[in-house]
Structure 1
Amino acid sequence: MKIYTKTGDRGETGLFGGQRVAKDHVRVAAYGDVDELNSLLGVAVWHLEADGQAELAAGLRGVQSDLFTVGANLATPSVEDGGRESPWIPALAPGRIEELEGWIDAAETELEPLKSFVLPGGSGGASYLHLARTVCRRAERHVVTLSREAHVGPEWVRYLNRLSDLLFTLARLANRRAGVDDVPWMPNPRGAAEEGAAPR
């Protein structure tokens, strides 16, 4: 099977079920963001494994598998939208969102309570988890946009919403386990900003 098919050379792509849409269609943007998120998690996993945080890396491999399921469903129009049912499109494992919530709760037992916003960054793994969180939020926004014009299962928005919370929490946890402190955001006082004070 060849990687290139030439069927998309005119700016269209095929969805699961046979429909063809423009490559900038909101549905393509939604599952494209999910694909980008999955790739970023692959980089985060590499850094976590290199830092000796195999437990976090293994859990995120499971999330990567989830994201293939999310993307496959977003790329499949519902029957109401002219699509065809397919036994090959997987469903999200029951209770998976609750499992993410449990992971968040367990991670927070190792963390100091948040008292301010923190700057994204820190260790390699944490930095990529922060970046993945922002892409996850973008994916969520595009799925919400898609849901206004097509039938989209509410579980996909819920999953991405919970996942972004998890990625933020795991970024903090990865920093803590790597011995790297979170850097709190220290906004300039309004008066200093108005006077043109140089940032410190």
Structure 2
Amino acid sequence: MVVLNKIYTKTGDDGETALGNGARVAKHSMRVTAYGTVDELNSVVGLARLQADGDVDASLSRIQNDLFDLGADLCRPDMEKDGEAEYTPLRIVGSQVDKLEAEIDGMNASLNPLRSFILPGGTALSAYLHQCRTVARRAERLTVELATMESVNPAAVKYLNRLSDWFFVAARMANDGGKADVLWVPGANR
């Protein structure tokens, strides 16, 4: 259980922060940058939820919770030492990726195939979901870069990759099932 009685601790005033295993690192470290971007993504999902309702809102709520799981996963290095931890560290698991894939397949089944790239826009919800998609892609790139330096849960990378796909398909659904997608017209303004 998390208990936050005092919001500021002053322990980060020197430019360092604590990871989930207690190690102190620079706030600009790649690991902090990766999970910080996941936190940013969660905020953008919150904005998208302002436009969502029903099943989409429920899925976005679940995704927000998953993103906290992902942040907890990324802030805890040394996966090989998970068994030695005082408590089992929280890690993204395959079933979270599977859930995204099932939802993508379900949404995509009703969409016409794309014959052009899509410009972010259309409805407000679609625009926000496209913003979620681009922040998810950045979080994925940073997490993949982190994985070249330190151990990273492979399921975390898969989750981010599928999540950006989920946002893309959901954005199309938010545009009247793709009928209101804003299509790119190559060279239209030459």
TM-score between the two structures when normalised by the length of structure 1: 0.86
Q: How does 1:171-186 map to 2 (within 5 A)?
A: 171-176=171-176, 181-186=180-185
The answer to whether residue 23 in structure 2 is matched with residue 19 in structure 1 is yes
The answer to whether residue 158 in structure 2 is matched with residue 158 in structure 1 is yes
- CA–CA distance in structure 2, aligned partners of residues 165 and 94 of structure 1: 16
Higher Cα Rg, which structure = 1
The residue aligned with 2:92 is 92
The 3 A distance-change label for structure 1 pair 132 and 79 is closer
- CA–CA distance in structure 1, aligned partners of residues 97 and 107 of structure 2: 16
The residue aligned with 2:130 is 130
Q: Retained in 2: the 8 A contact 1:41–1:132?
A: yes
Shift of 1:164: 0.5
Q: Retained in 2: the 8 A contact 1:48–1:124?
A: no
Q: Retained in 2: the 8 A contact 1:133–1:167?
A: yes
The 3 A distance-change label for structure 1 pair 27 and 9 is same
The residue aligned with 1:55 is 55
Q: Retained in 1: the 8 A contact 2:73–2:92?
A: no
Residue identity matched to 1:25: S
SS at match of 1:95: helix
Provide structure 2 residue ranges, at least 5 long, that are not aligned to the other structure: none
- CA–CA distance in structure 2, aligned partners of residues 67 and 22 of structure 1: 22
Shift of 1:81: 8.1
**More divergent stretch after superposition (59-68 vs 84-93):** 84-93
Provide structure 1 residue ranges, at least 5 long, that are not aligned to the other structure: 190-198
Residue identity matched to 1:41: V
The residue aligned with 1:101 is 101
- CA–CA distance in structure 1, aligned partners of residues 158 and 122 of structure 2: 28
The 3 A distance-change label for structure 1 pair 80 and 68 is same
Residue identity matched to 1:153: N
SS at match of 2:52: helix
Shift of 1:92: 2.9
RMSD of the TM alignment (CA)?
2.2
Residue identity matched to 1:26: M
Count of residues paired in the alignment = 186
Q: How does 1:30-49 map to 2 (within 5 A)?
A: 30-49=34-53
- CA–CA distance in structure 2, aligned partners of residues 137 and 2 of structure 1: 33
- CA–CA distance in structure 2, aligned partners of residues 95 and 123 of structure 1: 31
Deviations 1:19-77 (A, max 9, x none): 1111110000000010011111111011113xxxx111101111111111111010011
- CA–CA distance in structure 2, aligned partners of residues 128 and 161 of structure 1: 18
TM-score between the two structures when normalised by the length of structure 2: 0.90
The answer to whether residue 190 in structure 2 is matched with residue 188 in structure 1 is no
- CA–CA distance in structure 2, aligned partners of residues 100 and 122 of structure 1: 23
